[in-house]
Amino acid sequence: MLARVLFFLLLLVPGIAGAHASLIATVPEDGAVLEQSPTAVRLDFNEPVEPVSLRVVDASGRLVAGPAGSVVHNATISLPLDAGLPRGSYVVSWRVVSADSHPVSGAFAFGVGVAPAVADAAADEPAVWKPILAAMTALTLAGLALSAGGALFLVLVGPFPRPFRPVAGGALLAVAAFAGGTLATGALLAGQDLSQIDGNAWRLGFATTRGDALLALAAASLLLLAGAARNNRLLLAVGGVGAPFALALTGHVATAEPRWLTVPALLVHLAGMVFWLGALLPLFRLLRQADAVIAVRRFSSLALFVVPLLMGSGVVIAAVQLGGIDALADSFYGSILMVKVGAAMALLLLAAWNRESLTPALERDGAVGAVRLRRSIQAEAIWAVLLLAATAVLMQTPPPRATAGGHHDHAAHEPASGWSVVATEGTRSAVITLDGDAIRVQVLGADQAPLAVKQVVLVFARPDLGIEGLERPAAAAGPGLFEWRPAKLSPAGRWDLRVEALVTDFEKAEFEAVIDIFPTNEQRRVP
Amino acid sequence: MRSILRAAAAASLLLASSSIAQAHAVLEQNQAVTGSYFTAVMNIGHGCEGTATLKVRIKIPDGVTGVKPMPKAGWQLETVTGKLDKPYTDHGKTITEGVTEIVWTGKLLDAHFDQFTMQVKLPDAAPGSMIFFPTVQECEKGAHRWIEIPAAGKTRSDYKEPAPFLRILAKP
């Protein structure tokens, strides 16, 4: 403290105008890949400076060294790293004060054992989230089966036995579980542990396609609740189809190519699942009463139509996601898929037995037949739980098509599926597009025509993590178009971006935007 | 204790050198009376990343006319003329072309300091307003572009490479 006071008192001495420091070199260098952890981080300036903060942040945004503890020696500042750094990507963010009291700041990145800013933040994910996410997904599916499935049952098969009311409870369960899954997704992206969860996690999770899906699911659930309360078949039908549709807005399948095939297949599959599994509980309850025969018959004839669609759409989705028959045996995804298929086969066998043997038995001898049918449905329920669990795990697992070389990230070739924002400064604007693994900038003049700029530098900052300006130059990619590829920043999350475009030798235009950078197998949307 | 000694050492080092030059490019005299003839002296106190400055280019802002640069021994002087962004009238004639840029080419070591001078006629700008002289310093390694003009609500200290400024004063 005293040192700093003395330092600044010097500014009052006449004749000393003070100097504005600049960084000459760093150890490790920006973008360096080191074999082992450095023992210290060093910054060399052209003048003596006073450190304000020097932080080292890891790939999940956790502070691993600093901000205090830096050592000054003439014009060099170093921060010792007593505990070595584990393998991963790191950002060093620094802020110093020069003799002219102007703060100077910046950031640079390096990696230990990996290239810095590896987009896949999976290496540092707290392990607790995967099972929580799977559980939330399973609960969402169960809630959907109860609510949307129950609604479709009411519309297509028959009324519920009183006082059975699965639709409202199921809808609330689905929305709550999906919201929980969204929060968990955000926490995973932010690299937060269970104890560290904060509003950031919700914001990040909501900013993915899950946010859209949650809103759609909530809307469909409202329709379902209204339909159930007023016994309105139209509302129930719309909600019953809309709720599975909401879930099709997010996830690996929804973005798989070709979209014209996968999205309808997913819709059919979800709707079919919801109808079939959602009918189990109402049928079970109805069989307690004497007049279940009509409902069972009607369900049976509908199932004859729904089940092939369900199986067919499942095969289509599996084929797209696996990318090849080898992946079935080779990958984790393939193994879980086989578990799911096994459970589906068991359900199919039980359903066939129901139709061929148990339903006629019900018609002949009501009481005994009902007991047998209920036992069969109980067995089906157990297999259904296994099936839902397997599905929930599948939905969290990157499919083989995404990790196979060449198929990685179709979004990179589909500008329409990218994300862009327009930032303005005065009469000029910059269209910033985040597209696969590139960030593109197109500067437009006052007339909205492309403005030929000489140079573009992207400056990234994370004020929430204390990361100051991390500069990355963009390369010319066409007339007036610049891109930075591969656009990899670590840690994943929401970054402040400043685009510095050199319009003429003497004029610089600066545009500011906020962008979300996620690991490549997550979806992004306009914030 | 050690930090006090370090500060004292730095202090004595600073006091020993007569003055430390500004690392920013700035005008030696940064205020002038509106509409007057003014000798603009640009201080260049540092190279880029420790390397020598090879070229100093000063852009003439809108409204500044009658530009006459001062030649410098050992440096080539070039006056760039072109279309003016803001044409003006002089003695009844509309002037559309004029001096837009002055370029000095030579070599100035990072350890040295030099001044680049020109005489200009300032416009009748409102007292209190600022006129900026964007300056580009091209070096052996890289360049400094002192061209950032503060946006509304921000000051020069918010920027890394602010443009040299001239504050306009009222006529006495």
Least confident range of A119-123, A449-453, B158-162: A119-123
Query: CA of A483: how far to CAs of A22, A429, A437, A458, A502, in Å?
Result: 27, 16, 10, 10, 14
All residues of chain B having their beta carbon less than 8 Å from the beta carbon of residue A508 are 145, 147-148
Residue with tokens 């070595």: A84
Q: Kindly state the percentage of chain B with pLDDT values over 90.
A: 59
How far is Cα A303 from Cα A448, in angstroms, rounded to an integer? 57
**Residues of B whose CB is below 8 A from A30:** none
What value does the CA radius of gyration of chain B take, rounded to a whole number of Å? 18
The answer to whether A15 contacts B19, with C-beta atoms less than 8 Å apart, is yes
Q: Scanning the structure block, which residue is given the tokens 């003070």? A: A18
- The band of B36, judged by pLDDT with boundaries at 50, 70 and 90, is very high
Q: How confident is the model at residue A101 (pLDDT cuts 50, 70, 90)?
A: low
Please list, in sequence order, all residues whose beta carbon lies within 8 angstroms of the beta carbon of residue B14, skipping any fewer than 6 positions away. Answer: A10, A13, A16, A99, B20
A335/A342 Cα distance (integer angstroms)? 11
Write the residue in A2, A10, A24 that is nearest to B49 by C-beta: A24
**Identity of the residue in A7, A18, A505 whose CB atom sits nearest the CB atom of B20:** A18
**Measured in whole angstroms, how far is the alpha carbon of residue A519 from the centre of its chain?**
8
Higher-confidence position of B160 and B41: B41
Distance from CA of A427 to the nearest CA of B (A): 13
Q: Rounded mean pLDDT of A379-403? A: 83
The alpha-carbon gap from B9 to the nearest alpha carbon of chain A, in Å, equals 10
Q: What residues does B146 pair with on adjacent strands?
A: B135
Which is more confidently placed, A391 or B1? A391
pLDDT band of A14, cuts 50, 70, 90: very low
Name chain A contacts of B15, Cβ cutoff 8 Å. Answer: 10, 13, 16
Which ipTM value was assigned to this complex?
0.77
Q: In A, which residues are within 8 Å of B145 by CB distance?
A: 502, 505-506, 508
Helix (H) or strand (E) holding A56: strand A50-58
Flag the least confident range among A100-104, A506-510, B166-170. Answer: A100-104
> Residue A161 has which token pair?
């036995």
pLDDT score recorded for residue B30:
93
Listed range (A101-110, A166-175, A250-259) with the worst mean pLDDT: A250-259
Query: Considering only A184-193, B43-52, B80-89, which range has the smallest mean pLDDT?
Result: A184-193
Contacts of A3 in chain B (CB under 8 A): 3-4, 6-7
A6–B8 C-beta distance less than 8 A? yes
Nearest C-alpha neighbor of B11 from the set A95, A22, A99: A99
Beta carbons of B53 and B47 less than 8 angstroms apart: yes
Retrieve residue B54's tokens. 């090879």
What percent of chain A is modeled with pLDDT above 70?
Answer: 84
Q: Is A250 or A378 the better-scoring residue by pLDDT?
A: A378
Check: CB of residue B66 under 8 Å from CB of residue B120: yes
Contact list in B for residue A2 (CB cut-off 8 A) is: 3-4, 7
Which residue reads 């809103």 in tokens? A215
Q: Where are the beta strands (DSSP E) in B23-161?
A: 26-27, 31-33, 37-44, 53-59, 65-69, 76-90, 93-108, 114-121, 130-132, 135-139, 143-146
Q: If interface means Cβ-Cβ distance under 8 Å, which residues of chain A face chain B?
A: 2-4, 6-7, 10, 13, 15-22, 24, 46-48, 72, 98-100, 102, 104, 425, 502, 505-508, 510
At A123 the pLDDT is 36
Length of chain A measured in residues: 527
The closest of B138, B136, B137, B164 to B149, measured between CA atoms, is B164
The answer to whether B14 faces chain A, any CB pair under 8 Å, is yes
Record: contact A22-B57, CB cut-off 8 A: no
* B95 interfacial to chain A (CB closer than 8 Å): no
Q: Residue A120's closest CA among A488, A497, A523, A524?
A: A488
pLDDT of B20: 37
List CB contacts of A182: < 8 A, sequence separation 6 or more: A202, A205, A206, A208, A210, A211, A214
Q: What is the pLDDT of residues A136-188, one digit of tens each?
A: 989 999 999 999 998 888 888 888 776 667 888 899 999 999 999 888 877 77
Between helix A332-353 and helix A366-396 the angle, nearest 10°, is: 170
Q: Which pLDDT band holds residue A286 (cuts at 50, 70, 90)?
A: confident
Chain A: residue nearest B59 by CA? A506
pLDDT for the residue A415: 27
* B89: closest CA of chain A, how far (Å): 25
Whether the CB-CB separation of A229 and A171 falls below 8 Å is answered with no
Cβ neighbours, 10 Å, residue A356: 11
Partners of residue A43 on adjacent β-strands: A26, A77
Residue percentage of chain A with pLDDT more than 90: 20
pLDDT at position A407, please? 33
Residue B7 and residue A2: Cβ atoms within 8 Å?
yes
Q: What is the mean pLDDT of residues A337-353?
A: 90
What pLDDT, on a 0 to 100 scale, did the predictor assign at position B5?
53
Residues A75-85 have pLDDT tens digits of 899 999 877 78
